[in-house]
Amino acid sequence: AVALLSSAAFAQQTLLQEITESGELRTCFDAGYMPFEMKAKNGQFIGFDVDLGKQMARAMGVKYVPVNTAWDGIIPTLLTGKCHLIMGGMTITPQRNMQVNFADPYVVIGQSILLSPKLEGKVSSYRDLNSEEFTVVTKLGTTGEGAIKRYLPKAKVNLFETQSEAVLEVTNGKADAFIYDLPFNAIYAAEHQGQLVHLDQPFTFEPLGWAVRQGDPDFLNFLNGYLRQIKGDGTYERIYDKWFKD
């Protein structure tokens, strides 16, 4: 029994040890989700999550390694060990929380609506969109999809692999409204003045959290401790203001 116990103890390297020994903090996200993670023209990843990840890696004394992953495979990517955590603007939902653990929320958002200008005045909230005469779009596997199923069950739905493809349907006149996270919509509307109307009253409550594999309270404790620290010492505010205020 003693031998078994000690070999098990040696075989089990904790995630924090693995990060320290490999010298890398590998974070998963799906780029294209403004302002959390974007691919800059020079190929570098930038954004709110990227800056938080870099700052965290620095505090751990390791290198920040971005792992860009398609959204619908992001949880499997975490679960198969290709990254240490997801820092990707992921909403904490009960379904996801049955597969992964979440650190405390680092920001709270909600769904908002980018509306075709031809519907301005006719549609002023999600309630007005809940009709079979309207086609709504969003990104596959997101809480936008969940919000449509729940709040717009009568509308026609088209789902897209990326958020940019989805929102283009509205600017092209093929769909009536794009349902997505408010921060993305606010930036997109500002960049495409006159092409869309932003109904910017969020109609869902969505805390976003960093996701880790189940069964590792030590890593979760590290993340929550780190978040508490940067929220108190001004680091979080500085990074937040950089990406959310203009």
Map tokens 């606010």 to a residue. 186
Min. distance of Cβ 94 from ligand ARG in angstroms?
Answer: 13
CB closer to ligand ARG, 62 vs 86: 86
181 binds ligand ARG (CB under 6 A): yes
Pick from 27, 101, 116, 142 the residue near ligand ARG by CB under 6 A: 142
In angstroms, rounded to a whole number, what is the distance separating the alpha carbons of residues 12 and 227? 26
Min. distance of Cβ 102 from ligand ARG in angstroms?
Answer: 11
Give the footprint of ligand ARG on residues 19-38 (CB under 6 A).
Answer: 29-30, 33, 36-37
71 binds ligand ARG (CB under 6 A): yes
Window contacting ligand ARG (CB under 6 A); options: 86-94, 150-158, 188-196, 224-232: 86-94
90 binds ligand ARG (CB under 6 A): yes
178 binds ligand ARG (CB under 6 A): no
Radius of gyration for the chain, computed over Cα atoms and rounded to the nearest angstrom: 20
Q: Applying CB under 6 A, which residues contact ligand ARG?
A: 29-30, 33, 36-37, 71, 88-91, 142-143, 181
